[in-house]
Amino acid sequence: MRWSSNHQDLLDALVAERTLPLLCRRLSRERVTISREQARKWRDWARSLSADPGWQAVGPMVDHPDAWPAIWQTTASSGWSARTDHHNALFFMRVCTQCLADQDYEVAHYAVEEALAAWRRVLITPYMSELVDDLAANAMTVSETSSAQARSVATHLLDEFIDARADELRRALGLDNREGVSPLDARAARFAWRALATAIRISAEAAQGKEPDALATLAQVHAQAKRARASVSLGVLTQFQTLVDAIDFSSATAAEIRVPFEWFGHVFALIDYDDDALTTVVAAAVEIGWKLRSLKRDKDPDDFAGVLAAVSPFNDALFERLMASHAFGHNSKCADLLVFAGEKQSSPEQRWERFERALQVCPGHRNASMLASYAYLERANLLLLSTAAVPGFAVHLPGAERRRATVLKARDLFLQAEKLYPTNENIAKYREDVLKECERFAIPFDVTMPEEPSDER
């Protein structure tokens, strides 16, 4: 009897029936079970696997669950042909779909990593173009059309994957709810955001081959994943602004005013924020601060405190980016919020620290300069109180250098306060006190003031 293709198909089906069910369980971390019938349908995968060098390491280990997924990952980069990796990618996408249905996000993300890595290994070879050539009924212009068709086949599958993750992310964040705030599905949001990040990372890795089509396809996938994340981020900002615009500040309670900012904080604890997110939330908080002040509601500590608490971490991040020249053009808003925050502090040290940071990020900021001037005078006065009680005869006794240094600090703080805000109505009174102590300790008063006061607090 001559061996025919039918005999080979039957043998491949029997091999698949024996090997694939157990392999699928191991590859899916015991989540996916396939029937013998399904295994027979996937006989081309089994045939391709068994012909690859990686199977010599993987095949004997399917009976050892503890060896997985490590044994698979050690062979993935060099042990599989593009044909096998095509099957691998499709299987891991199936695993991802099933795990998402079961809300098993940890294994779903593992499947995403494996699927996208397999797709990348496929795309950096001529495999997809060759596959299209084999399937093409009319090969008259195959040299011109097969590469484009191959890119279309691959990117269609990956575009569907990316679009599905973006839709999941929007649902998890409640971005389709225009009537208010929906409960966040934190686990689903984290998964979808990480999946898009994985697509961006893997598609950005330099192609190991020289295939121009691979570079074009990976670039398209990379751009699509970045657009998907940017679209979701824009949706968050739009939803946030909608929530802010809906507040009636004349009657809203402190809790109602906090809602958009607390929601914003919860969302960006799940996904990454960019400069647009930072500047949007900081600008909105500053605007609300002025609105509350115009309505004379800024004196109530509860009305704005919750907003400041929710926004301060974002303003801190904006401050760091501005100071490092990683962001531009929003210095005044950052300083505005630092001034609002400083005004609410009960400790002189905390007030001074916030006003000083406002002047660092926005030198010459009027309100920061004015309030920092008052804060510097307050600090100088506290220092002078500790030296004014020293009798004249004790000025030159042991410890005089320490007391003299205290007066020097007070003098520098006073001069900095005068420089920052010369119209400060307390300048004249404090000048007398500082001058008196400087004379007692033989410290020159009229000196050129450095740009910044002493770093010692």
Q: Please give the residue range of the domain that contains residue 336.
A: 247-344
Q: Is the pLDDT of residue 139 over 60?
A: no
Same domain, 325 and 429: no
In sequence order, what are the residues at sequence separation of 6 or more whose Cβ sits closer than 8 angstroms to the Cβ of residue 237? Answer: 276, 277, 280
Q: Is the pLDDT of residue 259 over 80?
A: yes
More confident residue, 249 or 154: 249
Same domain, 122 and 205: yes
Same domain, 171 and 130: yes
Considering the domain boundaries, does residue 70 fall inside one? yes
* Boundary of a domain, candidates 200, 235, 270: 235
- For the residues 371-380, what does the mean pLDDT come to? 89
Of the given ranges (143-152, 275-284, 416-425), which has the lowest mean pLDDT? 143-152
pLDDT at res. 456: 38
pLDDT at res. 383: 87
* Boundary of a domain, candidates 186, 203, 235: 235
Quickly list DSSP for 88-139. HHHHHHHHHHHHHHTT-HHHHHHHHHHHHHHHHHHHTSSHHHHHHHHH-S--
pLDDT at res. 326: 81
Closest by Cα among 323, 234, 243, 320 to 271: 234
Same domain, 294 and 383: no
Same domain, 31 and 166: yes
pLDDT digits 0-9 by tens, 281-338: 999 999 999 998 888 876 676 778 889 999 999 999 999 999 998 877 889 999 999 9
Q: Is the pLDDT of residue 108 over 90?
A: yes
Considering the domain boundaries, does residue 220 fall inside one? yes
Residue 419, classed as helix, strand or coil, is helix
pLDDT at res. 218: 83
More confident residue, 391 or 28: 28
pLDDT digits 0-9 by tens, 154-180: 677 788 999 999 999 999 999 987 777
Q: Is the pLDDT of residue 453 over 50?
A: no
User: Which pTM does this prediction carry?
Assistant: 0.80
More confident residue, 78 or 41: 41
Considering the domain boundaries, does residue 351 fall inside one? no
Q: Is the pLDDT of residue 64 over 70?
A: yes
pLDDT at res. 177: 79
Same domain, 177 and 273: no
Cis before 212 (ω within 30): no
Taking CB atoms within 8 Å and a gap of at least 24, the contacts of 65-68 are: 65/26, 65/30, 68/26, 68/27, 68/29
Same domain, 53 and 27: yes
Residue 245: CB atoms within 10 Å: 9
Same domain, 15 and 152: yes
- For the residues 340-345, what does the mean pLDDT come to? 89
pLDDT at res. 446: 72
Same domain, 308 and 260: yes
- Torsion, CA 91, CA 96, CA 101, CA 104, rounded to 10: 130
Same domain, 306 and 372: no
And the tokens for 315? 């303003």
Q: Is the pLDDT of residue 455 over 70?
A: no
Handedness of CA 306, 311, 316, 319 (dihedral sign): negative
* Boundary of a domain, candidates 235, 263, 286: 235
pLDDT at res. 95: 97
pLDDT digits 0-9 by tens, 431-440: 888 888 888 8
Give how many domains the chain has, as a whole number. Answer: 3
In angstroms, the CA 203 to CA 117 distance is 9
In angstroms, the CA 20 to CA 265 distance is 46
How does residue 33 score in pLDDT terms, banded at 50, 70 and 90?
A: very high
| Mean pLDDT for all residues in the chain | 85
Q: Is the pLDDT of residue 22 over 70?
A: yes
